[in-house]
Amino acid sequence: MRAIHVKRAFKYRFYPTDAQVAELSRTFGCVRKVYNLALAARTQAWTLRQERVTYNATSAMLTAWKKTEELAYLNDVSSVPLQQTLRHLQTAFTNFFAKRARYPRFKSRKKSRRSAEYTTSGFRFRDGKLTLAKMAEPLDIVWSRPLPEGAQPSTVTVSQDSAGRWFVSMLVEDPAVQPLPANGRAVGVDAGLDHLLTLSTGEKITNPRYERRDRARLAKAQRELARKAKGDGANRAKARLKVANVHARIADRRRDNLYKITTRLVRENQTIVIEDLTVRNMVKNSALARAISDAAWSEFRSLLEYKAAWYGREVIAVDRWFPSSKLCSVCGSLHDKMPLHVRTWTCVCGTTHDRDVNAARNILAAGLAVSACGAGVRPQRSTPGGQSAVKQETPRVTAGIPVL
């Protein structure tokens, strides 16, 4: 089996000193300022002259900005994160012109993610200690797990979340990530709300509903924040932090659960067939939006796809129009209607189905049909638009993605 080289991000929490907080806060502000200036310049050039400004041109602009009296403070921080934010802006425009993303937006001081990325010239990593440019002391990192032996970070990203916690993410090459031995097992996965996932084997994975568990605590914190006037300074900041801490607790527990589930599915199965759900449209249903968001189906799929690519597994997505719930997995008869409140039903062939298990088995069968016949082969059923009922995902290994 051919070895692969995967760059993997290891994320740790750290506790900065007052001097480091001040330096990082300045860096975050300068990164945001440079990004917004470059975006404004590129937008203006296109609007007035239909001219595309390149990364090299914005880099030259940055040099000129540093020489002005108004923006001389940009010299006070490391130049590496400033150059990196220009590269990120170039990537954003590349994705926009390739129609993979919308037009880049300006960064907001209050709402945008506070982060700065350093390449090898902007940090020193020796003897397990990480020191960033413009800092005299190394970061006080909580090493919750070791880096791969002999690993040297290629990039380091420092960030602060809305709850005020500080994190450092180190991108290293991990030789431990190698394709797993093929086992020939396949499983269909039906996503739901009563149960987070139902497998074609009949197993049902409980939906923890983390947001619902902490809903009372979240509501109390939000009421306290709402009572604080917007000009209330420190008191409003403390109330906002309480709300952010509840949200962080919910997100952390949800993410941890999804990591464990996806790792297990990838290790146990060679082929995993899922539904191609359009979550952005589904959350428009006001009655189900909160529950759907709490289930985090999109995050589940993202985690599953990159782990499958790492370990040599296959992920197949069944088209959203495939009638998995209304189709009998035994005789193949299709029922006209299947309301959501119907959880079990009996087919004309006499088989009594659990709605979710039956759907998972149909999803698996549809996915295996394409996997066996090859890409481009039309399965038995097609969508109303005449397109294939299943589509095969293209595996990809992405740098900087979350760890297992």
Write out the catalytic residue numbers: 190, 275, 356
The contacts found for 66-72 with CB under 8 angstroms, 24 or more apart, are 71/33
Asked if residue 191 lies in contact with residue 262, where contact means CB atoms within 8 angstroms, the answer is no
| HSE of 379, CA atoms in CB hemisphere, 13 A | 27
Asked if residue 398 lies in contact with residue 6, where contact means CB atoms within 8 angstroms, the answer is no
141 membership: H or E segment, kind and range = strand 141-142
CA distances from 342 to 322, 323, 337 (A): 18, 15, 10
* Amino acid, single-letter form, for residue 167: F
Degrees to nearest 5, angle at CA 77 with 168 and 122: 50
Structure tokens at 333: 């008869």
CA-to-CA distance for 37 and 85, rounded, in angstroms? 11
- Rg (the chain; Cα; Å): 25
CA-to-CA distance for 106 and 123, rounded, in angstroms? 27
Degrees to nearest 5, angle at CA 93 with 58 and 67: 15
DSSP state for residue 270 in the 8-state scheme = S
CA distances from 105 to 32, 36, 63, 216, 387 (A): 11, 8, 23, 34, 34
CA-to-CA distance for 112 and 160, rounded, in angstroms? 11
Q: How many residues does the chain have?
A: 404
- 116 phi and psi angles, rounded to 5 deg: -150, 135
CA-to-CA distance for 340 and 270, rounded, in angstroms? 31
Asked if residue 329 lies in contact with residue 358, where contact means CB atoms within 8 angstroms, the answer is yes
Q: Could you count the other beta carbons within 10 Å of the beta carbon of residue 27?
A: 24
| HSE of 102, CA atoms in CB hemisphere, 13 A | 2
Q: Could you count the other beta carbons within 10 Å of the beta carbon of residue 371?
A: 18
